[in-house]
Structure 1
Amino acid sequence: MNNPLVRDIGILIARLGLGIILLTHGLQKLTVWGQSGTSAAFEGMGVPAASVSAFVATWIEILGGVALTLGLLVPVFGALLFLVMAGAFVIVHVGNGVYVADGGFELVAALGLGALLLAVVGAGRFSIDHILGSKLPFLAQSAPAEREPARSAV
């Protein structure tokens, strides 16, 4: 699809969906389990430096979820969220297979890969990043490259 409007609407929908899921994922750690409960769970799963890791994961998920939803610093938070999910994948979930019901990696893989994709493609036109792009060059996005017409062999 080479339609810029459709592309930007697709990015917006993906940002909103991932952002809301990641925000609620982080808020669950903060408000339902609390710092001590999350730290204990991380320790039980063999996460190194469980207390620090729990704090960092919680706040990257909360702030990253808000950032994706608003389209603010999407390349930065997309990369951070990818790293958090990659850590969860490697440390906790990969040995349990694919299915989340078995403690597997399907959820963290989907969230992490979606965050990585947003980090690479950017926040799209309907975002704070787009508004700030001229002031913060690392947020500026180029339009998808136009395809060259096929050349004849004549």
Structure 2
Amino acid sequence: MSPCQPQGRSIRIFPKHGFPRFQPLSRSKITTNPPQPEEIRGTLITPINPRGAAMKIFSKLNNFSDVGLLILRLGIGIIFIKHGMFKWQMWGMQPSDQMPASMLMIMKILAVAEPLGGLSMITGFLTPLASIGMSVLMIGVINMKINVMHVSFIAGQTTGWEFDFLVLCSALCILFVGPGKFSLERMMSRS
């Protein structure tokens, strides 16, 4: 018998009533000494452990880590495809004072590279290469925002470089963890 359990009594939880009740174990073990409050408190808390139940539920979520990687890959892929498609209009532009020829050429390259990297992320094919490319791109964007545009991390009315930092961290995560079970790379390696 544990030191926290009152002598001669046990707790049984009745689902109909939803509250604990004391029930004698046997007539020979019933004592005249009433249980102390700390004994009752310890005994009442023992059957219901919300932390344990929550941890069991959360630990089962680890079985779905590949689903989490798929969601992360889909999110990054969609972002890069949309940003790359937005740059397609640069193909019809001519160099100007606002957009020098070197910057225009970089934008034209990104108009092709970003959607390809996004497609690679979505399908889970060549993800290490896409992750490295996206990471290098995001480091360049963050560097430009900090040193050229003098934008802070959170810029108030406009976006700072917090979004770019989040995309960089996501790309690095996929680089180090891999694309997960739901990817073309994994399917091709099985065959």
Tell me whether the two structures share a fold, i.e. TM-score over 0.5.
yes
More strand by share: 2
Shift, 1:24, TM fit: 0.5
| CA spacing shift, 1:98–1:72, aligned 2, 3 Å | same
Distance 1:42 1:2 in 2: 54
Q: Which residue of 2 aligns with 1:144?
A: none
Q: Which amino acid aligns with 1:6?
A: F
Identical counterparts, % of pairs? 24
Q: 1:8 to 1:19 in 2, by over 3 A?
A: same
Q: Which has the higher contact order (CA 8 A, sep 6+)?
A: 1
Structure 2 residue 129 is the aligned partner of structure 1 residue 79: no
SS of the residue corresponding to residue 133 of structure 1 reads: helix
Give the distance between the partners of 2:122 and 2:97, measured in 1 at CA.
27
Match of residue 9 from structure 2: none
Residue 169 (structure 2) aligned to one of 113, 118, 121? 113
Query: Are the counterparts in 2 of residues 40 and 50 from structure 1 also a CA contact under 8 Å?
Result: no
Check the 8 A contact 1:74/1:123 in 2, yes or no: yes
Question: Is 1:27 matched up with 2:82?
Answer: no
* Alpha-carbon distance in structure 2 between the residues aligned to 1:23 and 1:117: 19
Amino acid at match of 2:161: F
Q: Which runs of 5+ in 2 are unaligned?
A: 1-58
Structure 1 residues 57 and 38: CA distance shift in structure 2, 3 A: farther
CA RMSD of aligned residues (A): 2.9
Q: Which has the higher helix share?
A: 1
User: Of residues 143, 147, 168 in structure 2, which corresponds to 1:90?
Assistant: 143
Give the equivalent residue in structure 2 for 1:131.
187
Aligned residues: 130
Give, in whole Å, the separation in 2 of the partners of 1:26 and 1:111. Answer: 15
Say which of 1, 10, 16 aligns to 2:74: 16
Gaps of 5+ in 1: 136-154
Task: Give the conservation status (yes or no) of the 8 Å contact 1:71–1:127.
Answer: yes
- The question of whether the paired residues in 1 share the 8 Å contact of 2:153 and 2:161 is answered with yes
Residue pair 1:22, 1:62 contacting (<8 A) in 2 also: yes
